[in-house]
Amino acid sequence: MRRNGVPEHPWRSLVALGDSFTEGMDDPGPDGGVRGWADRLAERLDAGTSGFRYANLAVRGKLLHQVIEDQVPRAVSAEPDVVALTAGGNDLIRPSGDPDALAAQLDHAVATLRASGAQVLVGTGFDPRERPVMRRVRGRVGTYNSHVHAIAAHHGCLVLDLWSMPVLQDSRAWSDDRLHLAPEGHRRVALRACEALGVPVDADWREPLPPGREQTWQVQRAGDLHWVRHHLAPWIGRRLQGRSSGDGRRPKRPDLRELVPGSEGR
């Protein structure tokens, strides 16, 4: 059946958990806040069912244990149909990041969420082979992803497989900081999430981006220097000082409620 021309689906509520990726960093919203793949997914789910409700508890900079301690209990209390959980990236890029230990934490969190009756959409990490600096932790991310797939299979969860999205190897899918997705990257991830949830969409996340002009060496070099000065150096500074970009921030959408046009990203 169809609702307002959109195929219907069984999902009536969604709670999104995680860090800057799920908060929606570098995908500007209409009101000056951030939008992101989870908001885009919620908008698509809202179009296919009446009374759909959505909460986004993700906060930039959070480590996996913080997501589990602060966000998972609130998701359980909300009793949604689906919980989207993608976290661990901020742990893996640190020298102390242990994918096996992180997987044990994730397994406990997923078990808790599944015991509440919610379906869980658990996300893998991206393949960072084309990302400066980040490519150094590719082995850790791959190990963690293997655990994510095993945890999902054990608990009967759905997987948002970001590693296997070759379109995200295109630099245009990423913002200037090379750590967060650009709007087009968030759009593609939302389409991938719809596919994982069995929600029909009118676009294909696999479609390659249009051919672009190849950058000259000089342009690429200038971009590298700008990135080091304006993105990498401040990030290292925060790590050395024990600070996080999310310190003092609250979730942008803390309550499970119906979507209101123009309310996303606040």
Q: What is the pLDDT of residues 89-139, one digit of tens each?
A: 999 988 889 999 999 999 999 999 999 999 999 999 999 887 766 788 999
Name the domain count of the chain: 2
Residue 70 shares a structural domain with residue 169: yes
Does residue 201 contact residue 195 with C-beta atoms inside 8 Å?
yes
Same structural domain, 145 and 47:
yes
Within 8 A by CB and 6+ apart from 240, the residues are none
Listed residue (86, 80, 82, 116) closest to 102, CA to CA: 86
58 plus 188 within the same structural domain: yes
Which segment of 22-31, 98-107, 170-179 scores lowest on mean pLDDT? 170-179
CA distances from 54 to 17, 40, 82, 175 (A): 11, 11, 10, 26
Angle at 201 between CA 164 and CA 109, to 5 degrees: 55
Same domain, 228 and 155: no
Interhelix angle 99-115/138-155, rounded to 10 degrees, is 30
Q: Would you state the pLDDT for residue 175? A: 85
Residue 219, pLDDT above cutoff 70: no
- Residue 103 CA to residue 9 CA, distance in Å, equals 31
Tell whether 52 and 70 lie within a shared domain: yes
User: Mean pLDDT, to the nearest integer, of 70-94?
Assistant: 96
Same domain as 236, residue 120: no
Which pLDDT value is given to residue 265?
A: 40
251, part of any domain: no
Query: Could you tell me the residue range of the domain that residue 230 belongs to?
Result: 216-245
In a domain, 225, yes or no: yes
- The percent of residues in the chain predicted with pLDDT above 90, rounded, is 67
